[in-house]
A and B are shown apart, each in its own frame.
Chain A
Amino acid sequence: MPLQTPPLRGIHDERGAKFTEFGGWDMPVEFDSIQTEHEAVREDVGIFDVSHMGQIHVTGPDATTLMQRLTSNDVTRLNVGDSQYATITDEDGLIIDDTVVYRLPNEGGEATYLFVPNAGTDEATHERWISYRNEFDLEATVDNQTDEYAMFAVQGPNAPELVDDVTEESVTDVDRFTATMATVDGVECWTARTGYTGEDGFELIVPASEAEDIWAQLDCQPCGLGSRDTLRIEAGLLLAGQDFDLESNPRTPYEAGIGFTVALDTEFVGRDALEAAREDGLNEELVGFQLIDRGIPRHGYDITNMDSRVIGTVTSGTMSPTLDQPIGLGYVPSEYAEPGTTLQVVVRGQSKKARVETTPFIDTV
């Protein structure tokens, strides 16, 4: 199957980006260097093309009911312009995907939502929504608009100022996890104070046909998926398909450390299983750790206790550009999850000492 390309593939290529396949998309992984891009976001501002993220639009008389039944959080808490992090779980309460749900301005007097599934999952998610809508006999329109939109993340301490400079409306008063329709060069962009880096900033969902002009307006360090990954690991944020995966690493939101996305007082697919899981307590959970010995933890490496018995697996790891220390995430039995606990990570056959740390690893907004 050919790779999908973001609208600005050619612009990024001219800028000298290196590309990688991610979720079926051909995306920039690096423009200058991961270190340079990472530092720009931590200290100043950088922009990511995240057009591989999906956009699914839901409206109609039963849009709220449909969203409520298929996401783990409580969408009835959302006023227009609010957003929330949520998971999409199966009947067993295992995470299929994680997503951000935005409440858009009402359309035709009906509550309207836009949610952002991960790269390559938009078609399956769209089908899931249609299929449950039909099964529950709900009246809602579900549109997969992934191809119609580009999505840019402008992140870093100076990101709000940059975005404010190019939008006709002031956006500095937009609170964290809320959004507004803002105008850039006459083009309306859904402009949300969200992100995936641990820094302040905005994510803009823009019409694909206008993407080039808006990208040029938001002139700052271009950043690829490489620094997006190091930034989110430092912030202790999960990557779908890596820190949880329904096939290879099935996890509940509780195990994944995002129990705050579960609203048990709502009705959704997986709710009963999650209530039972919460009552049973956790056997394993995701922890952050830092290597004390020299070495870099990588996805798939074994985690052992100090007696060298395998107790878990590294799901994400990197040399932290901010801390200049090797850090990672992985699942371990709960008795090893206390910060300060000493573990080992097996790097090419050699046991490297590691210490459980609280996440995020850095100060975040």
Chain B
Amino acid sequence: MSFDIPDDRQYLESHEWALETDDDTVRVGISDFAQDELGDVVFVELPDEGDDLQQDTEFGVIESIKAVSDLYAPVSGEVVAINDDLFNAPELVNDDPFGDGWMLEIDPADADELENLLSAADYEAQVA
């Protein structure tokens, strides 16, 4: 089985993706591989707007019917947006993990931190 791994963004070993937006924020979600491993997503717990996150530390929890999994921040910074749609429609994470299933946007404290992340090719090698 092959998974989508768009090369317009970067990845964490823990299967989150990070996409720089036109507003210089970093949008965060989980990969196609991760949503497939989890199965039907039924619950997403996210931080509040204004919360400060640290790179590689937990920012929330995602639950499928069968599993509970922590979510990790790809960069440090303030949460400037969260995807409210996931509270009533967590299945968006399964249906469109790189699009409508996004989770939050961070105003990065240090843009250099993005250099620590995996490229699409590196991530593909990890999940292959």
Residues of A at the B interface (CB closer than 8 Å) are 16, 29-30, 33-35, 226, 229-230, 294-296, 298, 318-319, 321, 348
Of A34, A226, A319, A348, the contact of B61 (CB 8 Å cutoff): A348
- List A contacts of B64 (CB < 8 A): 34
Contact A35 B65 (CB under 8 A): yes
Contact B43 A34 (CB under 8 A): no
- Minimum CB–CB distance for A121 against chain B, Å: 23
Contact A35 B40 (CB under 8 A): yes
**With A33-B94, A226-B66, A321-B40 given, can you name 5 additional A-B contacts, CB distance below 8 Å?**
A30-B39, A294-B87, A295-B43, A296-B68, A319-B63
Interface residues of B in 69-128 (CB under 8 A from A): 87, 94
- List B contacts of A33 (CB < 8 A): 39-40, 94
How far, in angstroms, from A29 to B64 measured CA to CA in the complex? 13
Contact B65 A34 (CB under 8 A): yes
Query: Is B18 located at the chain interface by the 8 A CB criterion?
Result: no
Contact B40 A34 (CB under 8 A): yes
- List A contacts of B42 (CB < 8 A): 296, 319
- Size category of the binding interface on chain B: 10 to 19
- List B contacts of A294 (CB < 8 A): 43, 87
Of A16, A295, A321, A348, the contact of B65 (CB 8 Å cutoff): A321
Q: Could you list 11 examples of A-B contacts with CB < 8 Å?
A: A16-B1, A30-B39, A35-B65, A226-B65, A229-B66, A295-B43, A296-B42, A296-B43, A296-B68, A318-B65, A319-B65
How far, in angstroms, from A143 to B63 measured CA to CA in the complex? 43
Residue from A29, A229, A296, A318 with most neighbouring chain B CB atoms (10 Å): A296
Q: Mark B1-18, 1 if CB is under 8 A from A, else 0.
A: 100000000000000000
How far, in angstroms, from A35 to B41 measured CA to CA in the complex? 10
Interface residues of B in 26-42 (CB under 8 A from A): 39-40, 42
- List A contacts of B68 (CB < 8 A): 296, 298
- List A contacts of B61 (CB < 8 A): 348
When C-beta atoms are compared, the residue in chain A nearest to B65 turns out to be: A34
Residues of B at the A interface (CB closer than 8 Å) are 1, 39-40, 42-43, 61, 63-66, 68, 87, 94
- List A contacts of B39 (CB < 8 A): 30, 33-34, 226
- List B contacts of A30 (CB < 8 A): 39, 66
- Minimum CB–CB distance for B77 against chain A, Å: 23
- List B contacts of A34 (CB < 8 A): 39-40, 64-66
How far, in angstroms, from A296 to B68 measured CA to CA in the complex? 9
Contact B66 A29 (CB under 8 A): yes
Instruction: Please name the 8 residue pairs, one residue from A and one from B, whose CB atoms are nearest each other, closest first.
Output: A319-B42, A35-B40, A34-B65, A226-B66, A33-B40, A296-B63, A34-B40, A296-B43
Contact A230 B1 (CB under 8 A): no
- Minimum CB–CB distance for B108 against chain A, Å: 27
- List A contacts of B87 (CB < 8 A): 294
When C-beta atoms are compared, the residue in chain B nearest to A30 turns out to be: B39
How far, in angstroms, from A33 to B65 measured CA to CA in the complex? 10
How far, in angstroms, from A138 to B63 measured CA to CA in the complex? 52
Residue from A30, A294, A319, A321 with most neighbouring chain B CB atoms (10 Å): A319
- List A contacts of B43 (CB < 8 A): 294-296, 319
- List B contacts of A298 (CB < 8 A): 68
How far, in angstroms, from A59 to B44 measured CA to CA in the complex? 54
- Minimum CB–CB distance for B18 against chain A, Å: 24
When C-beta atoms are compared, the residue in chain A nearest to B61 turns out to be: A348
When C-beta atoms are compared, the residue in chain B nearest to A319 turns out to be: B42
When C-beta atoms are compared, the residue in chain A nearest to B68 turns out to be: A298
- Minimum CB–CB distance for B43 against chain A, Å: 5
- List B contacts of A35 (CB < 8 A): 40, 65
- Minimum CB–CB distance for A321 against chain B, Å: 7
- List B contacts of A321 (CB < 8 A): 40, 65
How far, in angstroms, from A30 to B87 measured CA to CA in the complex? 25
When C-beta atoms are compared, the residue in chain A nearest to B87 turns out to be: A294
- List B contacts of A226 (CB < 8 A): 39, 65-66
- Minimum CB–CB distance for A108 against chain B, Å: 47
Of B63, B65, B94, the contact of A230 (CB 8 Å cutoff): B65
